[in-house]
Homo-oligomer: A and B are copies of this chain.
């Protein structure tokens, strides 16, 4: 098994970070235990701490990671067609990587902590600016675009949207308007 393989700290750190994104997406900042992340990554709990210093720093790394990935998706989409409408179709790509929007949501929730708040404000601000610049949309158009994204995010968190969605009358009516 691969668990006996020795990796460089950087490589192992990347694996742990990926595990952290998955875990934080499922349970949030306070709700996720470092031991859970460690098991997901196949390493010991103390090693997770040594690689990132503290649980908080690991969460910050997860936030930065998903923000960078979201920007990457929007950049790729805009390269094909820099229109806000067509960019909207790429929410499907975001929803396919369910953990991206979920980690961001948990970041919003944890913004009461000043350190996390700073990180989230910077990440979300960058996304806003990027979308606006890529599409040339007005602030208002960009706002509406992001608003739809936030609704999809909470619908995903509520598990009424995406794979394994719980089917409810209201949620089916609501999500059917996206087609």
Residues of chain A touching chain B, judged by Cβ–Cβ distance below 8 Å, are 26-31, 105-106, 108-112, 117, 120-121, 124-125, 128-129, 138-140, 142-144, 146-148, 150-151, 153-154, 157-160, 166, 168-171, 173-174, 176-177
The 7 closest A-B pairs by CB, nearest first: A30-B30, A147-B151, A150-B150, A125-B170, A147-B147, A140-B177, A30-B31
The count of identical subunits is 2
Which residues of B are found within 8 Å of A173, using beta-carbon distances? Answer: 139
Are A105 and B112 also in contact (CB < 8 A) when A121-B168, A150-B147, A166-B121 are? no
In angstroms, Cα B102 to Cα A154, docked, is 13
Q: Is the CB of B109 within 8 A of A158?
A: no
In angstroms, Cα B156 to Cα A109, docked, is 10
Give chain B nearest CB distance to A34 CB in angstroms.
14
Which residues of B are found within 8 Å of A31, using beta-carbon distances? Answer: 29-30, 110, 112
Are A143 and B177 also in contact (CB < 8 A) when A125-B171, A158-B121 are? yes
Q: Is the CB of A108 within 8 A of B150?
A: no
Q: Is the CB of A139 within 8 A of B174?
A: yes
Give chain B nearest CB distance to A91 CB in angstroms.
12
Known: A121-B171, A150-B150. 18 other contacts (CB 8 A): A28-B30, A28-B112, A30-B31, A31-B112, A106-B109, A109-B109, A109-B157, A111-B157, A111-B158, A121-B158, A121-B160, A121-B168, A125-B168, A125-B169, A139-B173, A139-B176, A142-B174, A147-B151
